[in-house]
Amino acid sequence: MSAEGRAVKRGGRLRRLLGRPDEGETGEDLAADPAAVPCTRIGDCAGTAAGRPVVHVTGTLRAVRERSVAGMPALEARLDDGSASLNVVWLGRRAIPGIEPGREMVASGRIAVTDGRAVLFNPRYQLQARGQE
């Protein structure tokens, strides 16, 4: 196996080091250091839904509610960064510890448009530590 092939198995680190985008990237860098991931303003994400690239956004959770999607539970939150807001939805979840109004969060995923609104379904996320908000 080539060196690059081994690197891809280890999470695509070589591709990132060489500056080549990793196809199908899911925001795995988010878990390592969310502050190091460049974030897109939510207001600029509306036009990205067509190509569906992975976006990294940060903001404050303004509202959180449980609802039903296609008969299954879902937790929905509104993430706002001052430029705009988007819905963040975790399917199959009724609650997630720490997901509450007022918390700062970094989220990563592919934008979808549902009922005319930008939505991140089942994103990778990291809550900012309290006191750093």
Output the domain CATH number for residue 76.
2.40.50.140
The residue whose two tokens read 């109004």 is: 101
46 lies in the same domain as 85: yes
14 lies in the same domain as 72: no
Domains held by the chain: number:
2
112 lies in the same domain as 88: yes
Give the count of beta carbons closer than 10 Å to the beta carbon of residue 131: 5
10 lies in the same domain as 54: no
13 lies in the same domain as 67: no
pLDDT band at 100 (very low <50, low <70, confident <90, very high): very high
Residues in a beta bridge with 75: 66, 90
Domain hosting 21: range is 1-25
List pLDDT tens digits, range 7-56: 334 444 333 333 333 333 334 444 455 556 788 898 887 665 566 788 99
Strand-strand pairing, 104-114 and 85-91: unpaired
